[in-house]
Structure 1
Amino acid sequence: MKIYNTNAEIGCRILLLLGSVKGPCSVERLSYYDYFSLHLNDLIDGCEGLHPSNPNHSSEIIIKRKTIKNAITYLISKGLLTVVYSASGFKYKNTNLADRLIELLDNTYSLKYKKCVIEVDKFFRDMQDDDITKYVRNNIGKWVGQFESERD
């Protein structure tokens, strides 16, 4: 039975993420926030990420969008997310049911994840999605190299 990177696992992180930031988020922002919340040390030097560094972990960014979209579809089908339509595209926010559900997610991992989300949001809060994408493109090579230097 698969337990990692399932729609349910990623969906829980999306719900926690949306419960920790102000306002609805696009797929792009959800993808970047989730990645950096798991690998906070890629964003803020000296901060411990929830997931360990491994070779090419930054490649997760490439597949993150697809896994986030699949989890969003799953959450919508369960009545936990709603779509917000705007001139800038689709954004997503938790339903009241989701807000009640995340109150129950009070384990160590969930609490650490929410703290990491808050740090990521502080870093990117005032940036548009396109600016976050540019930031990632300009820095992704550093994260790959960072792991290599940590191993030496």
Structure 2
Amino acid sequence: MVARDGGNVMSRVVARLVESARLLMAMESWVGMLAPGRPWCDAHREIPDGRAIGMTEAARGALGHWLRVENGCIAGYQIIAPTTWNFSPRDGAGLPGPLEQALKGAVVRAGERNPLSVQHIVRSFDPCMACTVH
């Protein structure tokens, strides 16, 4: 769909539906790997100094965690959520973020105070953001 029609509202919604179906099958296999009664985490008394980065693909896009430990304590922790990436301002080269690119050319009818096309595009990135945008 993306190759044929581009990254539009329909392709983002269909991608989420396909991902949900695939995730359900994966979750069934993960449940089979659970060992009831076994510890769910390893407890450590000392936390070594260091840095860690965790990146994953969440429902709305990339999710990143950055952690810094000093003297056994968390000295810094930053989360950048998908909304931050998707709704980002222009980058250092002046290129617009994904949402701004997607909004170019959106149809706004004469007299329309809350353009439906804009709401659809925004919701296709983040369903919660449309309330803030309108």
TM-score, length of structure 2 as denominator length: 0.26
Q: Which has the higher contact order (CA 8 A, sep 6+)?
A: 1
Larger radius of gyration: 2
Report the TM-score when normalising by structure 1.
Answer: 0.24
Determine which structure has the larger strand proportion and give its number.
Answer: 2
